[in-house]
Amino acid sequence: MKSKVKVRGRIKRYLLASVILGLVLCLVDVYAYIENVRVGIVLSVFLVVYFAIILTLLYKNSPSIVYELISFATQYGQVQKQLLKSLDLPHAILDEDGRIIWSNTAFEKLVGETRTREKAITTFFPELSKDRIPDGIEDFNENELEIKYNNGDYLCKLKKVSLKEMADNSNLIETENYEGFLVALYMFDNTALKLALREVDDQSLAIGLVYLDNYDEVMESVEEVRRSLLTALIERKINKYMSGVDGITKKMEKDKYMVILRKSAVAKLKESKFDLLEDVKTVNIGNDMAATLSIGVGLDGLSYAQNYEFARAAIDLALGRGGDQAVVKTADQINYYGGKSQQVDKNTRVKARVKAHALMEIITSKDQVFIMGHKRGDVDSFGASIGVYRIARMLDRKAYIVLDTVTNSMQPMVDMFVNNPEYESDMIINSMKALEEVGNNAALVIVDVNKPKLTECEDLIKKAKSIVVLDHHRQGTEVVENATLSYVEPYASSTCEMVSEILQYTSDNIKIRNEEADCLYSGIMIDTNNFNQKTGVKTFEAAAFLKRNGADVVRVRKMFREEALEYKTRADCVSEAEIYRDCYAISVCGSEGVASPTVIGAQAANELLNIKGIKASFVLTQFQGTIFISARSIDELNVQIVMERMGGGGHMSIAGAQIENSTIDAVINTLKDTLDGMIEGGEI
């Protein structure tokens, strides 16, 4: 880099002003010769003397002027340097590679070192990596980022400064080929501000709702004279727990409480994983059934009213997922805690009767009824669709079952209705046909699924005027919006059980055909693994109702007999299972030559539970570019929360997930890591 020092800028123009004035006098001298030769000669002599004096002064005094300017600049620079050095704001100059060229005392005090020169800035602040400094000298914008250092919060500003631009602004130095840039680093201590903001945020109010899930059932299981004592003990547990985090509890109804607490208190409850859920189960004064709670908390809303709405949505999610859990909802996030207990089978028939009447009113008010389940439908979804179809036809409404793919397990059931003169030829249609047929006054009944993206035709949801959801899976974050009627009961064994119960309230002398009874019975039988899992009183009552209406157990059993290859595939899957952590069975189900490998995988997962000591089974099946996970348990593990971690969901004992763009080995490793993390975190 070459450079020479000389006067430039305004000072240079000021010094050259006398020379320029002499040149102007030369022009005047020429005019004087024209007018008067004697005057011109005199003026010429004056100009010679003038230029001699001016040039001599310029030649002799120019170095002195430069020296004086440099002395002033040096002294001024020293003052500036001293000011920057003693500035309370940490400040440093970096080169293009992020190495420190110069730093002031405040910066050195911050990092705890006096010799910072030539050290990389990442030595002290790893966040200030080289990629934080934009490449090239064309962009001189200021970059900002927040970092934590020594328990302090700092706002770092990085300002790029061009060397050429710096030199061009100098009045003394004329540059040649100045290139590159420097980076000025300023660090603003925002610790106090952040602390104040956190304090304000922690003091913001959150709204909580606490419901007793099984109040009626618990009270029925204890003597009448002890019921008030049991209620008082449960209420005392809730009040003591919430007052322990400086919360206020207000009883709204016999089994409902409202809680006001600070956001910081919610963080403490999260850390303890809402141990009130387990604590309240210890209340026992002779009651045969333990009381369970559902907790919904709303926070970070724009107003108290919005926090209350968040709490309402959270408690609905907790109840929709089976109860005995806490849900914390913010504007953009939902967290779940608990959910370790089996759902309680509620024997009351009031809810089913109310839902049945509401369903009939909706269907009666519409011209068309479209019924659909989930993608790659199964026996339960198709059986429930047939049950709703019968209700619609009984009410004399045109009904369609939307079905794109007929799986191998469903084929025997579908064959009973295709080309059957007792049923319309357009009873079963695909998604494209449904979108063409849907009118302005149509109802849509969604069965066996409550997530829009998993339905057979998501676009149909947008076109239907009224939407009904009938499902037995636990609700997650994504639900069908603006449903006119939502009947989601996680305690039910299957959607076919729910539809069978609804059928009994649609008419006093309801009569369904044998084929329809077989389909509904099949759905219950498959989802309960031949009545071995998740069965309750209503399950057998529904089966008895279907048996009275023509369901044939032998006919159903023959319908679901399998090919020898499928039986062998399932046996191989069971025999090759890996027992992880001595209690989790993990296996891979083959799909070659098998029409419905996912069904075989689910059956294998059920069979693995027959192994002594197995708490849960996970069977992976790769089919059509997607890896399907079938998760099963009896009562020792909530497989739903495990599958939710992997993007799926389901029930406490029956759940699953679908993973795309991955491999079997990668998914198995992810599953193991998920189990390990949840065990270490105390969630399972």
Q: Is the pLDDT of residue 23 over 90?
A: no
In 3D space, the residue among 28, 51, 29 whose CA is nearest the CA of residue 40 turns out to be 29
Average pLDDT over residues 431-445: 89
Specify the pLDDT at position 3: 44
* CA neighbor of 237 nearest in space, from 277, 273, 207, 269: 277
Res 139: pLDDT:
46
Residue 584 has pLDDT above 90, yes or no: yes
- Judge whether residue 347 has pLDDT over 70: no
In SS3 terms, 510-566 reads as CCCCHHHHHHHHHHHHHHCCCCCCCCCHHHHHHHHHHHHCCCCHHHHHHHCCCCHHH
3-state SS class at 149: strand
352 near 492, Cβ under 8 Å?
no
Residue 161 has pLDDT above 80, yes or no: no
What is the token pair recorded at 353? 């009767």
The three-class DSSP label of residue 445 is strand
CA 476 to chain CA centroid, nearest Å? 12
- Cα angle 36, 41, 47; round to 5: 125
Whether the pLDDT of residue 421 is over 50: the answer is: yes
Within 395-494, where are the H helices?
411-415, 431-437, 458-463
Structure-model confidence comparison of residues 576 and 2, the more confident one: 576
Please report, as a single letter, which amino acid is at residue 390. Answer: R
**Site of tokens 């020092």:** 5
- Between 131 and 443, the more confident residue is 443
Task: Give the rounded percent of residues in the chain with a pLDDT score beyond 70.
Answer: 88
Answer yes or no: is pLDDT of 1 > 50: no
Strand 368-372, strand 398-402: pairing: parallel
Whether residue 137 is predicted with pLDDT greater than 60 in this model: the reply is no
Higher pLDDT, 120 or 265: 265
* Pick from 165-174, 324-333, 599-608: least confident: 165-174
Which tokens sit at 177? 């080929």
Per-residue CA distances from 557 to 71, 418, 480, 535, 595 (Å) = 105, 20, 35, 19, 19
| Contact indicator for 653, 639 with CB cutoff of 8 Å | yes
Cross-strand partners of 152: 149
Note whether 339 and 321 are within 8 A (CB).
Answer: yes
Half-sphere exposure for 175 (CA within 13 Å, toward CB): 14
The span from the CA of 204 to the CA of 330, in Å, is 13
Comparing 604 with 181, the larger pLDDT belongs to: 604
For the chain, what is the total number of helices (H) and then of strands (E)? 23, 25
Instruction: Give the least confident one: 5-19, 20-34, 263-277, 536-550.
Output: 5-19
Q: What is the arithmetic mean of pLDDT over 375-384?
A: 88
pLDDT digits (tens, 9 = 90+) for 241-259: 998 888 899 999 888 999 9
Burial of 48 (0-12, 13-18, 19+ CB in 10 A): exposed
At residue 129, the pLDDT reads 73
Question: How far apart (Å, rounded) are the C-alpha atoms in residues 276 and 209?
Answer: 13
Tokens for 139? 């962009």
- Report the alpha-carbon distance of residue 274 to residue 168 in Å, rounded: 66
Would you state the pLDDT for residue 48?
A: 84
Mean pLDDT of the chain: 82
CB contact burial 185-202 (16+ within 10 A = b; e otherwise): bbbebeeeebeeeeeeee
In this predicted structure, the answer to whether residue 622 has a pLDDT above a threshold of 80 is: yes
Q: How far apart are CA 198 and CA 185, in angstroms?
A: 26
Return the higher-pLDDT residue of 649 and 611: 611
For residue 64, name the pLDDT band (cuts at 50, 70, 90): low
